[in-house]
Chains A and B, each alone.
Chain A
Amino acid sequence: MRHIISILIENEAGALSRVAGLFSARGYNIESLTVAPTEDASLSRMTIVTTGTDRVIEQITKQLNKLIDVVKLMELSDGPHIEREMMLIKVKAATMDQRDDVKRLSDIFRGRIIDVTASTYTIELTGAGSKLDSFIEALSEHKILETVRSGVSGIARGEKCLQLN
């Protein structure tokens, strides 16, 4: 089962390596991991997408909580939540046909073309991971030059918040 774990962690050197090290040392899977500071500069917010049985996920959350730098943790996938991932994708667009088709596909997926050259388009697309996968699939007729994905960020729906008390 796929799970999304959100963590508030002290924004200190080495905090990321403690989390990453825990996953590799105990043989847990990481599908994606994103981390950046929050509105409170002393805290970072991390979103980890992982897979495992309920038992493994329980151990993962307990082991994460045990890390001294972890301030608070929430399993987002326990309740209603929103997840988003951002992708930048560079596609060959040299002929008029290619340029039209890529533009059309980008519009359909509500992407934005953010850079243009004589032979390429670079598109920004945000959504759930599956939407990004579908867009890549839709571009199969075209030559994809590069893709960059941010990994999943997530937040709980409604009034539920991951914050200090």
Chain B
Amino acid sequence: MELSGAEILVHCLKDEGVEYLFGYPGGAVLHIYDALYNQEEVKHILVRHEQAATHAADGYARATGKPGVVLVTSGPGATNAVTGIATAYMDSIPMVVITGQVATANIGSDAFQEVDSVGITRPCVKHNFLVKDINDLAETIKKAFYVATTGRPGPVVVDVPKDITDPNIKVPYVYPDSVQMRSYQPVTKGHPGQIKRAVELLLTAKKPMVYTGGGVVLGHAAEPLRKFVKTLGYPVTSTLMGLGSIPWDDKQFLGMLGMHGTYEANMAMHDCDVLIAIGARFDDRVTGKIAEFCPHAKIVHIDIDPSSISKTISVDVPIVGNVADVLADMNHLLEVSKTEPDQKALAEWWGIINGWRAKKCMSYDRNSDQIKPQAVVEMIHEITKGDAYVTSDVGQHQMWAAQYYGFSKPNRWINSGGLGTMGFGLPAAMGVQLAFPEETVICITGEGSIQMCIQELSTCLQYGLPVKIVALNNRYLGMVRQWQEFFYQNRYSHSYMESLPDFVKLAESYGHVGIRIERVEDLRPKLEEAFALKDRLVFLDIVTDQTENVYPMIAQGKAHNEMHMSPYCDLPQDPERELS
């Protein structure tokens, strides 16, 4: 079969089983768009800004585990996509981004809409390719999907010059079944000796702790993880990225750890004697002060990426491998092991932990006459029975969503953890809703973040995506305001959001439903009303308490046992007092 480059590209996507292509046309990709015209297998979703194309593909990938696919034009199309590519890179999300490029002969001549896409994206992709010969096109696309989805996943950019897709130049098309790359051979199985050492160490623990991350979600390892944790009876905490791997209400789950983690999770990290990190990368928001991170612990670390191991925290037993495979091997060793965890020590450890738990660090003012953002999230959990897909933007609302929604399944909590990209939530929700049209998809956002990709309300109408947007509107860039309150003596420099639009009218003008909630007593009925509108996008503009802060909070560079606490829990608020 002889095909043009443009046709080859579209055929590759079909053969790769790509369901949705998120994109935006432009000069350099017009041949490709022409090839997309007369086919229905690959459904193109026309976004309103290329950043949203990448976030939507990213959301789709996070919810389904399948790679997200993007098509943008050269120049500004590519540069607009960069934020979304970097977002996916930081969170290891499999994505293939096809960028148009000016014709090969014009590369380097400062041609119209020319930019060095390979150069610009190089630091924020797993790999990128410039296709210089039509005969390499199909194999390059295959490689892109292979690299994006194997090992530690990540975004791959394929830059395709316009002449490569010329409709008049046709070559035979064969999509390879597989590709071999001598320079890329990701490991999967962990080293048996290391796994044995890790299990032996874990069984000697008096104060064990399990710390899980996004690798469990990405590596489809929730099942073996649950088994592992149940067998051992050890306490478990999760990073922002790993939420849902262990159900939020599991007795052994201590909640999230880190900067806005629970008191019990952070204290248990600080005091533990054996820590096992599973698919987590010791991010600075998790570790706090490196020198005082888990000061008494021997550390086991399972990660698919060797460069994650001992990057910031030195570990005692490193295991490079696919988290699911390593956990399965560990579970097997535990089954046949003659040693048991030290039940007496474990009971004492749980006694201490339950003491921390009893402080109820997540308390907030439930009798306020203002709408508390935490209450909104808890109520949404109740109304959606904790089974919705929840995306978020970045800031206070993101933390409250993570802390109070209560996730029971992996792949349900979709947020930009590593890069912290405002504007992620709505387009990501579009990707999720397309993948799961029957499911409830919520975008928990703030009045600041939502305005960074608000144009996507138009896309949602075009494709009938009934996303529920929950804007916790406190008229502030809340997290910035919180830091200014804590660390800049209340100097609220440019964190107040003035001249906000009327979000209800805005939603209506885009053809959606807008609901404003201002009074505590309206919260439940109006939320119920919104979630009952199954087929419509509803924009909930919820006027919340302006001064609410996210608690607990470990200030940057402080240790796990130095937390600012909510005034409503049974702990001193100030970390200095608590230490003394």
**What is the interface of chain A, defined by CB distance below 8 A to chain B?**
9-10, 13-14, 17-18, 21, 25, 55, 58-59, 62-63, 65-66, 68-71, 164
Contacts and interface: CB of A to CB of B under 8 A. Distances in A.
**Looking at chain A's contact residues, is the secondary structure mostly helix, strand, loop, or mixed?**
helix
B183 A71 contact: yes
Given A17-B119, A59-B311, A164-B182, A68 B306 contact: no
B130 A13 contact: yes
Interface string B283-308: 00000000000000000000001110
A115 to B, nearest CB: 35
Interface of B: 118-119, 122-123, 126-127, 130, 147, 181-184, 305-307, 309-311, 314
27 contacts: A9-B183, A10-B183, A13-B130, A14-B118, A14-B119, A14-B122, A14-B130, A17-B122, A18-B122, A21-B123, A25-B123, A55-B310, A55-B314, A59-B307, A59-B311, A62-B306, A62-B309, A65-B306, A66-B305, A66-B307, A68-B126, A68-B127, A68-B147, A69-B183, A71-B182, A71-B183, A164-B182
B297 to A, nearest CB: 19
Contact of A63 (B126, B183, B184, B307): B307
Contacts of B147: 68
Nearest to B127: A68
A62 B310 CA distance: 11
Nearest to B122: A21
A68 B179 CA distance: 14
Contact of B181 (A58, A68, A164): A68
Nearest first, the 4 closest Cβ-Cβ pairs linking A and B are A62-B307, A68-B127, A71-B183, A25-B123
Contact of A68 (B130, B183, B307, B309): B183
Contacts of B127: 68-69
A70 B184 CA distance: 8
**Most B CB within 10 A of own CB, among A14, A25, A65, A164:** A14
Given A58-B310, A66-B305, 5 more contacts: A10-B183, A21-B122, A59-B311, A68-B181, A69-B183
A68 B118 CA distance: 14
A70 B305 CA distance: 15
A9 B184 CA distance: 11
Contacts of B306: 62, 65-66
Contacts of A9: 183
A18 B311 CA distance: 20
Contacts of B126: 68
Nearest to A60: B307
Nearest to A71: B183
A85 B225 CA distance: 53
Contacts of A55: 310, 314
Contacts of A65: 306-307
Contacts of B184: 68
Contacts of B119: 14, 17
A26 to B, nearest CB: 10
A54 B122 CA distance: 27
Contacts of A13: 130
Nearest to B307: A62
Contacts of B181: 68
